Amino acid sequence: MWRCEQFKEELPQYVADGEPASPYYRALRAHLASCPSCQEELQRLRWVEEALRCWPKVPAPSALLERVMQAIVEQPHSVRMQERWQPLTWEVWVPALAVLAGLMIAVFSLPPHLLNAPVAVPGEEASQLWARDLASWESWLEGHREIVGTVWNGVFAALAVFGIGFALASWDALGREWWKEVERYFADLGNQVRLFFRRIH
Amino acid sequence: MVSDPLAELVARCQEGDVAAFRELVQKTQDEVYNLAYRVLGNSQEAEDIVQEVYLRVWRALPGFRGEARFSSWLYRITLNACLNRRRELRTQLHVLDAEEALEQLAAPAHENPVELAIEHERKASLWRAVSRLPRKYRLVLTMFYQQQLSYKEIAEHLALPLGTVKAHLNRARRALAGLLRRKREKKSEDKDVAV
């Protein structure tokens, strides 16, 4: 009887597999040949299998498509764009901001002779104005060289330490995900640009 | 990347093409609705879930990288939404309305209409019985027989070991065979009493 129950456990899979003639089921087949109870169970499982194979799917109601599309369209355009836009995670924008700030500081820390105003061409008032502004800015910097230098060096050092520390600490943890995020960002950015131009035209 | 018959359509949707999304919904809604209906057992709930699923899909599409088939991704979203909804409901859901399913069943060619009707009724009673099985069994039966997913795919979607999926399916089949046996026994007892 115990053996019979063991075979009955195997029967559903045997039927579902299409009652294969494989050696795996040899003992089961031998048992079936001499056990009326298991034969009955086999018949029932065959019928269950057949009924399940033609179990009808319930199709979606005809009005459902319109309902779904209505919900999609009803979202305000700005919300839709906002939702579709994948905001950057802090793991990306924080170091990006640090790099940007570092670059700005590096540019403003260039020796003064590299920031000399271009020679003003007569008649080009805009560039003259710009040169004058630059000159006054330079003279202000000259006057406050020590304070400005201290503050900028401090900020630069803090950002550098933070950037390097952050990169070292999180590199292993972020690993590929970080790059995927960057890749995703540029892909999305490309998409947005393409969508923008498509709308314009 | 896996080859996906819906890839082109999905790419258009990712660009914000609403018409393409409509086509995508049209092509996939039956599968989504059927799964939701089988899990939730209620057509109104299933419709609400389908709408929620497609809204989620629309929002998440830009982030879909095609590392899995779109249908698998959609399936996972549907399943999660359904299971969350079930948890929210906390109450016993309505019993599946098998008559509705029966209406959808195309009548196969059969010589004897009486036999056909009896056979239909027997099968319909089995399908009704499925709706009374525990959810885990109903779910694997739906995924295997209706969505025609492989054991491996079901195991992935439900985060279960392959052996557990097979065991669930086999227990469900045996449970249905058991119901059939009891029904026949009851019928023969009734006959004996009548005699």
The residue in chain B having the minimum alpha-carbon distance to the alpha carbon of residue A41 is B177
Above pLDDT 90, what percent of chain A?
15
Fold of B111-194: Arc Repressor Mutant, subunit A (1.10.10)
Instruction: Give me the amino acid identity at A112.
Output: P
Q: Tell me, what's the pLDDT at B192? A: 65
**Residues A113-139 pLDDT 10s:** 555 545 555 555 666 666 777 777 778
Interface test with B, best of A13, A40, A48, A74 (most B CBs within 10 A): A48
Helices B162-194 and B151-158 pack at an angle, to 10 degrees, of: 110
Say whether A58 and B34 touch across the interface (CB within 8 A): yes
Helices B70-89 and B151-158 pack at an angle, to 10 degrees, of: 50
Nearest to A12 by CA among B167, B130, B98, B32: B167
Give CA–CA dist B169/A199, Å, rounded.
Answer: 52
- Cβ distance A15 to A45 under 8 Å? yes
Q: How confident is the model at residue A15 (pLDDT cuts 50, 70, 90)?
A: very high
Burial class (CB in 10 A: 0-12, 13-18, 19+), B194: exposed
A184: CB partners within 8 A, 6+ apart: A86, B63, B65
Q: Tell me, what's the pLDDT at B118? A: 73
- What is the CATH number that goes with domain B7-89? 1.10.1740.10
Of A8, A9, A188, the CB nearest to B62: A188
Average pLDDT of chain A is 74
Residue A76 has pLDDT above 80, yes or no: no
* Chain A CB within 8 Å of residue B43 CB: yes
* Chain B CB within 8 Å of residue A57 CB: yes
Q: How confident is the model at residue A188 (pLDDT cuts 50, 70, 90)?
A: confident
- Put simply, the chain B residues between 126 and 155 with a CB less than 8 A from any chain A CB are 126-127, 130, 141, 145-146
Residue A200 has pLDDT above 60, yes or no: yes
Q: How confident is the model at residue A77 (pLDDT cuts 50, 70, 90)?
A: very low
Q: What residues does each domain of chain B span?
A: 7-89, 111-194
A7: CB partners within 8 A, 6+ apart: A27, A28, A31, A32, A35, A38
More confident residue, B194 or A50: A50
Q: Tell me, what's the pLDDT at A86? A: 47
- Cβ distance A178 to A94 under 8 Å? no
- Cβ distance B83 to B39 under 8 Å? yes
Which positions in chain A touch B30 (Cβ < 8 Å)?
57, 59-60
Residues B43-82 as b or e (16 or more Cβ within 10 Å = b): bebbbbbbbbbbeebbbebbebebebbbbbbbbebbbebb
Q: Is the ipTM of this complex over 0.85?
A: no
Nearest to A73 by CA among B24, B62, B21: B21
Q: Tell me, what's the pLDDT at A137? A: 77
Nearest to B127 by CA among B154, B146, B151: B146
- Cβ distance A74 to B120 under 8 Å? no
- Cβ distance A48 to B130 under 8 Å? no
pTM score = 0.57
Residue A144 has pLDDT above 60, yes or no: yes
From residue B7, give the alpha-carbon distance in Å to each of B10, B54, B88. Answer: 5, 17, 34
Name the stretches of chain B with pLDDT < 70.
1-2, 89-116, 187-188, 190-195
B141, B142, B146, B150: CA torsion to nearest 10: -60
Nearest to B137 by CA among B164, B182, B90, B171: B171
Q: How confident is the model at residue A72 (pLDDT cuts 50, 70, 90)?
A: confident
B90: CB partners within 8 A, 6+ apart: none
Above pLDDT 70, what percent of chain A?
65
* Chain B CB within 8 Å of residue A56 CB: yes
Tokens for A163? 């950037």
Instruction: Give me the amino acid identity at A70.
Output: Q
